[in-house]
Amino acid sequence: MDLAFTEQERTFREEARRFFVTEIPESIRNKLRDGEHLGKDEIVTSQRILNARGWATPNWPVEWGGQAWSPVQVYLYQDEMQQAYVPPPIGFNVTMVGPVIAQFGNDEQKRRFLPRAANADDFWCQGFSEPGSGSDLASLRTRAERKGNSYIVNGQKIWTTLAQYADWIFCLVRTDPAAKKQEGISFLLIDMKTRGITVRPIVTIDGGREVNEVFFDDVEVPAENLVGQENKGWDYAKFLLGNERTGIARVGASKARVARIKQLAAMEGIGNDTRFREKLAAIEVELKALEMTQLRVVSDERKREKGRQNPASSILKLKGSVIQQQLTELMMDVVGPYVMPYQAPDQTQNEPFIGPDYAAGAAPAYFNYRKVSIYGGSNEIQRNIIAKAILGL
């Protein structure tokens, strides 16, 4: 394994670094740095800048805007993007539904949806989890009944991230209730403006509105919005979830957060505290080990069969989420008593935060990051994968 970057790779890294800090508005990057929630307009603005450069959808086929980058270039792109506090392209558009349509959709669906998803002309959300069908997703009960040239959809989705912004939702629906549960599921694309759809917010522990419930009451969906074959949606969902784990360790984001913590700790005078320094050093050691592990995975991808998931990604997800949570805890130490009167993400500016601006996002980030050990496959599931696929237990 060779962990040294080539001259071409170092040049690419410098190009990416310059682009991110000069082209993406500093106001957007600073909000992300300080843990503030971005509005839809800011998310869309950032993605359109990336798309104009051809960097919004590097993982897509070249004919639809992909870059055919090497695994190392993808790693460098993500690392520099995260360290510059650049909002990543909308994951639902770029990492999830886009690759599914590109792989399994028909030509008309590709022409209709892919360019708009790349440019954030359509904002997508994900309709997978349901009440009682989260970890056991194959037990979902939202039903789509074929009637002529349409499907009639009834049911409920939950934990639907950013559904309040979404123009479209890609849904797993049950089209054959008599089949074995994994074999009776289809993948539908549904316009969120369709009559019968209701979006209801779920206020999260940090006080924000990031996730929602979505209800479908006799929602009529054109049959042409079925992706691939009826009752094959489970296969497409597995393909999608494999893509979701790309970059899930967020090593670049954690490196940026370490640098920010050091800067603020020096300002607050806590940087010389022995116990604080010990905790910070321990996290930095773990983060460096995680970065080396990620580079080994990247190196292995050069030889790996295309589309085959590397079980080592479970290590990246597990350790990456733990480190992200530890860093939010360390930021709470830096901010000190100002974590108590925190300002919720959706609170109006008419209620000013008591304390320095950089402290306002510390407590909401701490609460919000409790989720990272669950999404993308819970840490308990990752431990099982590691035990079976890597350790052979």
Token pair, residue 346, equals 């959706």
- Each domain of the chain, given as residue ranges in start order, spans 7-89, 124-235, 245-390
pLDDT over 80 at 248, yes or no:
no
| Measured distance CA(367)–CA(363) in Å, rounded | 6
List Cβ neighbours of 341 (8 Å cut-off, separation of 6 or more).
353, 354, 355
pLDDT over 80 at 351, yes or no:
no
Instruction: Return the amino acid letter for 253.
Output: A
Write the CA distances from 47 to 23, 69, 83, 369, integer angstroms.
11, 19, 17, 23
pLDDT, average across residues 332-358: 71
Helix, strand, or coil (residue 227): strand
| Measured distance CA(177)–CA(231) in Å, rounded | 10
pLDDT digit string, tens, across residues 90-142: 999 999 999 999 999 999 999 999 999 999 999 999 999 999 887 678 889 99
Closest C-alpha among 83, 81, 9 to residue 47: 81
> What DSSP line would sit under 144-199, residue for residue?
EEEETTEEEEEEEE-S-TTTTT-SEEEEEEES-TTS-GGGSEEEEEEETTSTTEEE
pLDDT over 60 at 345, yes or no:
no
pLDDT, residue 392, reads 80
pLDDT over 50 at 348, yes or no:
no
Helix, strand, or coil (residue 99): helix
| Measured distance CA(31)–CA(322) in Å, rounded | 23
Residue 286 exposure: Cα atoms within 13 Å on the Cβ side? 21
Confidence (pTM): 0.86
Question: Could you tell me how far CA 317 lies from the centroid of its own chain?
Answer: 12
CATH code, 245-390: 1.20.140.10
Beta-sheet strands, E only, within the chain: 124-127, 143-147, 150-157, 168-174, 185-191, 197-202, 211-222, 226-227
pLDDT, average across residues 257-274: 92
Quote the percentage of the chain above a pLDDT of 90: 63
| Measured distance CA(77)–CA(55) in Å, rounded | 9
pLDDT over 80 at 355, yes or no:
no
pLDDT, residue 242, reads 64
pLDDT, residue 124, reads 98
pLDDT over 70 at 84, yes or no:
yes
Helix, strand, or coil (residue 391): coil
Write the CA distances from 252 to 64, 182, 290, 327, integer angstroms.
27, 36, 11, 13
CATH class of 124-235: mainly beta
List Cβ neighbours of 39 (8 Å cut-off, separation of 6 or more).
none
Residues noted as catalytic: 244
